[in-house]
Structure formats: structure tokens, C-alpha cells
Amino acid sequence: MANPTSDIENPKSPPPVIGLVGGVGSGKSTVARMMADEGCRVIDADRIGHEVLREADVKAAVRDAFGADVFGPDGEADRGRLADVVFTDAGRREALEQIVHPRILARIEAALEAARSAGPPAVVLDAPLILEKGLANRCDRVVYIEAPARIRQRRLQQDKGWAPTEVQRRDASQVSLKTKRDRADTIVDNSASPEHTLKQIRRILARFGAR
């Protein structure tokens, strides 16, 4: 399998920042955990998004924009209910992004600086919108996590109860898989065993000077 050619032209400086891209269910978080086990510092944008949604002024803005129905009985925004709203309406998805993304991006930026200063072999950015929100410009390398649609759908059916149509809907809300693959510096085939994936990760980290 030929590797794609990256058009990212950042100056490289240790430790490298490695961004993970791929379709929903491809296993980006699994790869991130494996990289963490290899000593890398992982920045989890999904966790940051959870934290931002718990901020009082963000909750107030979400309530004003989407109503009380997207909140659970605990008074916190219900991400599943929000997803049901925004993934069927591009305008409402944009409205939510305008509320939360500036804060998420600011936290990611701060986390990148803190992680780099800690001096790990590499910093790994596990974020769903690396290309969409310009975060590739903060990465020294981008890795595409590849898995066939049937495998991704099976994983998400087992883990989240999603139907294939939900996977397709989530994919359609992001940059195309072809674009992600083309923009990457290298690929991890995450369609086989964990040992197969780990072997590739170790080879990639060595190539990027992170081992």
C-alpha cells in the first residue's frame, strides 16, 4: 500500500506533534492509547469537548440555541441528544460549533504547549476535526487510521448501537476520507489485530524520531 504525500510544511521541532485522522469508528482513540503506552502525551479533544460543555456560560448558550430538550435530568448537556439535532441540520451544527469550538481550540492550543514543554517522545492529538478546523497546521505529522466501512460499522454497532446510516451521516459531516488519507504523512491499517496495529505504530514513531 503506497503512502500518501502530505502537503503540510511545518518546521519540525522535538517533540513532534502527531495528529490522528480517519473515519468514525476507525480506531483513532485505540491508536492514541497505544501511543500513550509507548510514552507519548495524548491530547483528547473529545474529553476537552465534554469539559467545555459543562461550563455554565456554554450551557446557557446551548440552552438558548437548542432548548431544554438537549439537557439531561442532571442539568448537563446530553451529547447524544445534541448529536440527533445537529447531524441532521447543517445550520444547527454550525450554531453549536460557534458556541463550543473557539473554547475547545483554545484549550487544545494550551494543552499542546504544556505537553511539548513536558518533553515526551511525541505529542498525539486525537481530535475529530483536525483538518476541518485548521489543527493540521499545529501538527508536525498527520497519521491516517484506516479501516473498511464494514469494520467501522460493526465496531460502532457493538460499542454505541449505531446503525450504518448513522456512521454514514457522521462521515458526511466531516472532510472526506479521501482528503484525510491524501493529507496524511502515513497510514496505520487498523483493520486486523492489535498486535498488527502496534507494530505499525512503533515503526511510525521510530520514523518520526519519537522513540
First to last CA, the chain: 24
Q: Where are the domains of the chain?
A: 17-207
Longest pairwise C-alpha distance within the chain: 50
Strands (E) across the chain are located at 17-22, 41-44, 123-126, 141-146, 186-189
Q: What pLDDT is attached to residue 166?
A: 84
What is the reported pLDDT for 132?
86
Identify the pLDDT of residue 5: 43
Q: Can you give the pTM of this predicted structure?
A: 0.88
- Per-position pLDDT tens, the chain of length 211: 444 444 434 445 579 999 999 999 999 999 999 999 999 999 999 999 999 999 999 999 999 999 999 999 999 999 989 988 998 888 999 999 999 999 999 999 999 999 988 889 999 999 988 998 889 999 999 999 999 999 999 999 999 898 888 888 888 888 899 999 999 999 999 999 999 999 999 999 998 876 6
As a whole number of angstroms, the distance between CA 3 and CA 13 comes to 23
Residues 6+ away with beta carbon under 8 Å from 197:
27, 30, 31, 34, 188, 189, 190
**Residues in Cβ contact with 16 at an 8 Å cutoff, skipping those fewer than 6 apart:** 122, 123, 140, 141, 208, 209, 210
Burial class (CB in 10 A: 0-12, 13-18, 19+), 157: middle
> What residues are paired with 123 via a beta bridge?
17, 41
All cell numbers assigned to 164 = 450504518
The phi-psi region of residue 40 (left if phi > 0; otherwise alpha if psi is between -120 and 50; otherwise beta) is beta
Q: What is the pLDDT of residue 13?
A: 58
User: What is the C-alpha to C-alpha distance for residues 42 and 54, in angstroms, rounded to an integer?
Assistant: 21
- 112, 5 in Cβ contact below 8 A? no
Residue 34 contacts residue 197 (beta carbons within 8 Å)? yes
Identify the CATH assignment for 17-207 out of 3.90.1150.10, 3.40.50.2300, 3.40.50.300, 3.20.20.140: 3.40.50.300
Contact 195, 188 (CB under 8 A): no
CA nearest to 44, candidates 117, 124, 106, 149: 124
Q: Specify the pLDDT at position 9.
A: 43
Residue 180 has a pLDDT of 94
What is the model's pLDDT at position 211? 62
Minimal CA–CA distance to 184: which of 16, 21, 12?
21
pLDDT confidence of residue 110: 94
The predicted structure's pLDDT at residue 168: 86
- Between CA 40 and CA 47, with CA 44 as vertex, the angle to 5 degrees is 145
